[in-house]
Structure 1
């Protein structure tokens, strides 16, 4: 009987140790998950929802904020070297016909960093109007965007309706 009691006591201790270790592992996994989410989520920068589209004129002068008033517009910011931009550019190009059917203009702004290859231009041309800049100082600065990809949805009066870092944040899934 003493042997059985000793075995039960040892098993009880082992179960308690297992519970403590499992709780520590779960706590550590939650901390790691929070850290990963913080690393993956770009900061919320730029215009607040409800703001009016800022006055701008593209580098070559062939597009300005006045050209976009009167119809809804999506302004999308991309950059070469951005790991998430190719997938989001494909999604935007895939929805180009749908957006045009709803009367929504699409303007993509591509910041081409020196020393990087530009694989996004062919895809973004399928999505609508493409403006290429040599860095983040142009329209990205005008709109206050610091991370790419970024999407802004303006209504026909030029008021920011939605914004996000994924196309689905702005247009929903479709």
Structure 2
């Protein structure tokens, strides 16, 4: 009986050591994953927070930086064929009324390359003004946007308040 008790105690100690090691490995994997995401996800824009809105006129002449001055504006960048863009376009359309009530004007730039289908336009039109451009988009270059989807929130003074790849990163309900 003594032998069996000792064996159970040793086995229990080994299981506890295994659990501790497993927890440490899981913690380390999560830390590494976070670092990898930070390293591989480019910022929504190279514009630094607090930077002034660049001077621009859309390729079709629909909108310019001068027209957007004087009030808060959220600018969204999307591209046809982007796998994350449909979800963010729908989120923007779903929250369009809430964003409008907050006094924020929404302008979306959609880059559509030759032969690409334009499936995002209906959702983006619900949210505000939509400007469709070729691929690469001149607006993306002007605003130093690295990838889509991307959102930039400018305040009434024309300064960049927030940026992100998801709507929730730049516009949260208060």
How much has 1:145 moved relative to structure 2? Answer: 0.6
- Contact conserved, 2:45 with 2:143, CA < 8 A, in 1? no
Q: 1:67 to 1:25 in 2, by over 3 A?
A: same
Q: Deviations over 1:47-86 (max 9, x none)?
A: 1111111110111223211111122211111111222211
Question: What root-mean-square deviation, in Å, do the aligned CA atoms of Structure 1 and Structure 2 show?
Answer: 2.7
Q: Which stretches of structure 1, 4 residues or longer, exceed 6 Å deviation after superposition?
A: none
**Pairs within 5 Å for 1:106-145:** 106-145=106-145
Could you state the TM-score of these two structures normalised by the residue count of structure 1?
A: 0.82
Q: Distance in 2 between matches of 1:145 and 1:30?
A: 28
Per-residue CA shift, 1:10-50, capped at 9, x if unaligned? 52664366246524642564256336634774435321111
Partner of 1:106, secondary structure, is strand
Structure 1 residue runs of 5 or longer lacking an equivalent are: none
Change (3 A) 1:5 1:162: closer
Count how many residue pairs are aligned between Structure 1 and Structure 2.
174
Q: Does 1:97 align with 2:91?
A: no
SS of the equivalent of 1:78 reads strand
Q: Distance in 1 between matches of 2:102 and 2:2?
A: 81
Which 5+ residue runs of structure 2 have no aligned equivalent?
none
